[in-house]
Structure 1
Amino acid sequence: MMRQLLPYTIRPMEPGDVQTVVAIDRLSFPTPWPASSYMYELKHRSRSFYYVLLRPTTDEVTPADQGWRRWLYGMIGLAGSSRVIGYVGLRERGQPTEAHISTIAIHPDWRGNGLGELMLLVALEQALELRFSTVSLEVRASNQVAHRLYRKYGFRFRSVHQAYYRDGEDAWLMAVEVDRDAYQSRLIRLRQALEARLGRQQPEPV
């Protein structure tokens, strides 16, 4: 899958993307995945689907080149030449009718532009293309921003996984049925609204 949405490109994740993906992971989560987990997903899982979001080719803006941020990016290997600014992972969960969003993140410098919503939309549309009927995910119990986004896309609370994360925080399991005509019509409207929002923006980091 290769998709162009306005100035952004979305394509399947490749092994060469993993270093940058892990760098974004470390900036996004208190318990990030190691590179070996991504490599395993890419190489050994026949029902895993991982995608990356690329910034526009004509945009040469890189993360702020100053102070601690410059030092940190150098330490974690986030090269300014990399175009990967976000990612999402989707995998079959237990039964062939359910897909699970295993991870989703946008580089901190590119947040607030609707790109996390874009990657969620990519995962949902891909689940439909692959003929999954349900999509689920886990989210930290404290992550109110993510809760609002997922509810916007029809996700509902299913259960609590106590002390799910390595730091002891609970996870909410949320899910949505995507194979209904009414939901697919809703998804089209949400996509149109997001496209309009992205089209009004100048693609650049904050």
Structure 2
Amino acid sequence: MKEISPTIEPAMSQDFLHVSALDRIAWLHTGQAYIPDGEHVWRVWCEYAIVLVARLPEACLPESGNIAGSLVMFRTHTDEDFLHKIMVHPDMRGRRIGTQLMQTALRNTARSVLLTVDPENAAAVQLYQKFGFQIRRRIDGYYRPQEDRFLMAFEPEPA
């Protein structure tokens, strides 16, 4: 698949509906029930959290406002960042958009970054490890009784 070069930039408040649409589209392949965050929370995240978008220059993804991917992180009460979501439009997968989003986010933080991942998702665990994340601990029943997670952490290089 051909690599593309979107502009990776902070989301604007008005992007929240498009990012919310991408959130619904990006998870269709899992076959699991989508638990909506709601468009209202995307509005708040786009204004107050760290939300990056991969915006395409041409009008090829009208349903997501030409946003091909997005990443949302926010600061925790432990003064770490929590990577809540990274998602790529199904039509744009395999083009390194997720990699570009992750590299931009990690390059621009001086804090530890946490994320959770399904322990059964070996591909995702390995991918996060390639970015420098380490498994901090396993948490059984993280979301629901049958949904376990690894808590993984990335430690940036000291300044």
TM-score of the pair, normalised by structure 1: 0.64
What is the identity, as a one-letter code, of the residue corresponding to 1:112? Answer: G
Match of 1:169, SS state, is coil
Taking the aligned partners of 1:140 and 1:33, their CA distance within structure 2 comes to 19
2:76 corresponding residue in structure 1:
93
Q: Contact 1:31 / 1:167 at 8 angstroms: preserved in 2?
A: no
Match of 1:172, SS state, is strand
Give the number of equivalent residue pairs: 150
2:142 corresponds to 1:160: no
| Larger deviation, residues 160-169 vs 108-117 | 160-169
Q: Contact 1:21 / 1:87 at 8 angstroms: preserved in 2?
A: yes
TM-score of the pair, normalised by structure 2: 0.81
What is the identity, as a one-letter code, of the residue corresponding to 1:109? Answer: D
Match of 1:87, SS state, is strand
1:15 corresponding residue in structure 2:
13
Q: Deviations over 1:22-66 (max 9, x none)?
A: 1221123333421111122234x4xx21111111x2x45448xxx
2:154 corresponds to 1:179: no
How far residue 116 of structure 1 moved from its aligned partner, in angstroms, is 0.9
Q: Contact 2:9 / 2:52 at 8 angstroms: preserved in 1?
A: yes
How far residue 16 of structure 1 moved from its aligned partner, in angstroms, is 2.0
- Indicate the percent of aligned positions where both proteins have the same amino acid: 28
Match of 1:95, SS state, is coil
What is the identity, as a one-letter code, of the residue corresponding to 2:14? Answer: G
1:51 corresponding residue in structure 2:
52
Cα RMSD (Å): 2.3
Q: Which has the larger radius of gyration?
A: 1
Match of 1:157, SS state, is strand
How far residue 171 of structure 1 moved from its aligned partner, in angstroms, is 1.5
Taking the aligned partners of 1:167 and 1:110, their CA distance within structure 2 comes to 33
2:97 corresponding residue in structure 1:
115
Matches within 5 A, 1:189-204: none
Taking the aligned partners of 2:55 and 2:94, their CA distance within structure 1 comes to 16
Taking the aligned partners of 2:54 and 2:91, their CA distance within structure 1 comes to 14
What is the identity, as a one-letter code, of the residue corresponding to 2:76? Answer: R
Moved over 4 A (4+): none
How far residue 157 of structure 1 moved from its aligned partner, in angstroms, is 0.7
Instruction: Give structure 2 stretches of 5+ with no counterpart.
Output: 28-33
Taking the aligned partners of 1:32 and 1:164, their CA distance within structure 2 comes to 17
Taking the aligned partners of 1:118 and 1:152, their CA distance within structure 2 comes to 13
Instruction: Give structure 1 stretches of 5+ with no counterpart.
Output: 1-5, 64-77, 182-206
